[in-house]
């Protein structure tokens, strides 16, 4: 059995290699527990462009995984990561074509970085390797590898949504991008909607590629254990004491406009307006670590949320009660597991999301004798398999407010019945089954 070579823009930093944060890195780390594996990508570091700079590859092995990373120059980081990947492809794929900040020069940097990744990966490849490329930063990497003569099986998985052709065609490179994907032997996406949209795109540009659905999951057994074992932890005890027996609502999202945070704050505000009996009686903790903080839309979002939290806390706060506890730094995932277990309600209300692992983590963390309630957006990739959650339209503040009231007053019998429906899927589709199914499909595609 040959090696698995994983390529993604984001590779966990050395200090996070045993406990990474961020959906893609978390899922991959859980999935790559077995077998020999090379994980290649960006180090997360930027360097100044010096004459003769040629992206040295830094290699480090932790347990069964060899990490090979390269730094990006400031100009590459700006054009490839901030502008084209996160300022153009990200909003477009999240159905927000209006937020695209398109300039052709960024597409050229994006293409050049993909070709540089291919050149740097090439000498690391060995006979028998299977290559698995991840996410929108690297759409053209498969074609760039083929152009260098790589004949190994190559698969591609898209972690974020894929939009309908009517939106995708707004991208000037839509045709060439979709046609370049013919280089892949297997293409995976999160949901049926994404597969339909991408396959429509392929047929519009005359490409013979085909997208299939491989939904991602978590490692529920270890997450559930962590949630229960961590209750004795000092920080978890501090949180518990601070609740003073009040019902506890939690939200955990990167500070990203796709996560629907202003809309969620508005929903909570309407909840306080329309259900005054909960004022002073609940605790809402929103963990929203700053993400992609140099992209203008993300900076604007931070200001908008800071203002909304200030307004709500100013309006409804009391000398002994803060309506929203709002953090813009990250919380370690080990700690979050027990925070979820303490939470009576989780608010997961993205406007659009590839999957959303937080929804699955929240379910895995619950005490089945007294589970909390998941309030979930219909537009999360996790939604089709989690219909026993309280489903909401994240644009409708009144619906969020009603769902909060319903969750906080729901009898234990109904909470258990809903959790009993949610649990099987969280345990059936895991990070391991996701990786195993994709890799099997890749093996078959080449031998077929
Ligand atoms: O690498 P960053 O720019 O800091 O962003 C973090 C990751 O965000 C996205 O995560 C997605 O993947 C999750 C796992 O499949 C999925 O649950 C979630 O819905 C997606 O948004 C992005 O796709 C990753 O490439 C980033 O590393
Ligand atoms: O402060 C934080 C915020 C998030 N996460 C983790 O980051 C991942 C986020 O994945 P998700 O699929 O929900 O969204 P993404 O950020 O990848 O879009 C989940 O495992 C969270 O538990 C974390 O460890 N600490």
Question: Per residue in 197-218, pLDDT tens?
Answer: 999 999 999 999 999 999 999 9
Closest ligand relative to 379 C-alpha: 1
Which residue in 378, 381, 379, 339 sits closest to 360, CA to CA? Answer: 381
Helix axes 296-316, 261-274, angle to 10 degrees: 10
The pLDDT assigned to 23 comes to 67
The rounded mean pLDDT for the chain is 95
The pLDDT assigned to 24 comes to 76
Asked if the model's pLDDT at residue 164 lies above 80, the reply is: yes
pLDDT band at 15 (very low <50, low <70, confident <90, very high): confident
Which residue from 27, 133, 160, 214 has its CB within 8 A of the most atoms of ligand 1, so it is best to mutate?
Answer: 160
| pLDDT tens, residue by residue, 363-412 | 999 999 999 999 999 999 999 999 999 999 999 999 999 999 999 999 99
Integer-rounded Cα radius of gyration of the chain? 22
pTM: 0.97
The pLDDT assigned to 405 comes to 98
Active-site residue, from 135, 353, 385, 425: 353
Average pLDDT of span 350-368: 98
Average pLDDT of span 75-98: 98
Task: Determine the distance separating the centroid of ligand 1 and the alpha carbon of 271, expressed in angstroms.
Answer: 30
State the fold for domain 4-217+431-447: Rossmann fold (3.40.50)
Is 159 one of the catalytic residues?
yes
Task: Determine the distance separating the centroid of ligand 2 and the alpha carbon of 177, expressed in angstroms.
Answer: 28
Do the beta carbons of residue 284 and residue 271 sit within 8 Å?
Answer: no
The pLDDT assigned to 51 comes to 62
Q: Which residues of 334-364 are buried (b: 16+ CB within 10 A; e: fewer)?
A: bbbbbbbbbbbbbbbbbbbbbbbbbbbbbbb
Asked if the model's pLDDT at residue 431 lies above 90, the reply is: yes
Instruction: Choose between 41 and 16: higher pLDDT.
Output: 41
The pLDDT assigned to 2 comes to 81
Task: Determine the distance separating the centroid of ligand 2 and the alpha carbon of 128, expressed in angstroms.
Answer: 33
Asked if the model's pLDDT at residue 17 lies above 90, the reply is: no
| Phi, psi for 208 (deg, rounded to 5) | -95, 5
The pLDDT assigned to 99 comes to 97
Active-site residue, from 94, 134, 137, 159: 159
Task: Determine the distance separating the centroid of ligand 2 and the alpha carbon of 41, expressed in angstroms.
Answer: 19
Atom of ligand 2 at shortest distance to CA of 329? 1
Do the beta carbons of residue 287 and residue 337 sit within 8 Å?
Answer: no
Is 344 one of the catalytic residues?
no
Average pLDDT of span 129-144: 98
Which CATH class for the 220-428 domain? alpha beta
The pLDDT assigned to 271 comes to 98
CATH 3.40.50.2000 segments of the chain? 4-217+431-447, 220-428
The pLDDT assigned to 25 comes to 76
Residue of the CA atom closest to atom 7 of ligand 2: 22
Which residue in 31, 34, 27, 108 sits closest to 64, CA to CA? Answer: 34
Asked if the model's pLDDT at residue 1 lies above 70, the reply is: no
């Amino acid at each position: 059995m040959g090696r698995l070579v994983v390529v993604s823009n984001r590779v966990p930093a050395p200090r996070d290699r045993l406990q990474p944060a961020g959906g893609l890195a978390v899922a991959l780390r859980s999935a790559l527990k077995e077998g020999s594996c090379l994980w290649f990508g960006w180090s997360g570091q930027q360097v100044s462009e010096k004459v003769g700079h040629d992206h040295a590859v830094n290699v480090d092995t932790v347990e069964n995984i060899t990490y090979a990373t390269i730094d990006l120059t400031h100009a590459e980081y700006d054009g490839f990561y901030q502008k084209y990947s996160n300022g153009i492809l990200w909003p477009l794929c999240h159905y927000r074509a209006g937020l695209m900040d398109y300039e052709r020069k960024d597409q050229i940097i994006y293409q050049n970085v993909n070709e540089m990744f291919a050149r740097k990966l090439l000498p690391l490849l060995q006979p028998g390797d299977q290559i698995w490329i991840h996410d929108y930063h690297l759409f053209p990497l498969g074609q760039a590898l083929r152009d260098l003569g790589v004949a190994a099986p190559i698969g591609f998985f898209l972690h974020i949504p894929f939009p309908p052709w009517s939106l995708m065609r707004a991208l000037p490179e839509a045709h060439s991008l979709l046609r370049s994907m013919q280089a892949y032997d297997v293409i995976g996406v999160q949901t049926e909607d994404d597969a339909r949209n991408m396959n429509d795109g392929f047929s519009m540009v005359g490409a013979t590629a085909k997208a299939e659905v491989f939904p991602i999951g978590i490692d529920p057994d270890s997450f559930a254990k962590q949630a229960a074992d961590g209750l004795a932890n000092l920080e978890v005890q501090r949180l518990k004491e601070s609740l003073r027996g009040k019902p506890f609502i939690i939200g955990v999202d990167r500070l990203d406009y796709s996560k629907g945070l202003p809309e969620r704050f508005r929903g909570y505000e309407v909840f306080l307006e329309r259900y005054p009996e909960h004022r002073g009686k609940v605790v809402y903790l929103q963990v929203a670590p700053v993400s992609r903080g140099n992209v203008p839309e993300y900076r604007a979002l931070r200001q908008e949320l800071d203002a909304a939290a200030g307004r709500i806390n100013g309006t409804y706060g009391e000398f002994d009660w803060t309506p929203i506890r709002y953090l813009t730094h990250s919380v370690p995932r080990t700690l979050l597991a027990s925070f979820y277990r303490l939470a009576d309600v989780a608010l997961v209300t993205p406007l659009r999301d590839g999957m959303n692992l937080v929804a699955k983590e929240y379910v895995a963390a619950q005490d089945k004798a007294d589970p909390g309630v998941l309030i979930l957006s219909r537009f999360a990739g996790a939604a089709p398999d989690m219909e026993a959650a309280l489903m909401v339209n994240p644009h409708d503040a009144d619906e969020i407010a009603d769902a909060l009231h319903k969750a906080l007053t729901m009898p234990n019998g109904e909470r258990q019945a809903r959790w009993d429906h949610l649990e099987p899927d969280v345990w059936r589709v895991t990070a391991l089954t996701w990786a195993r199914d994709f890799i099997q499909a890749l093996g078959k595609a080449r031998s077929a």
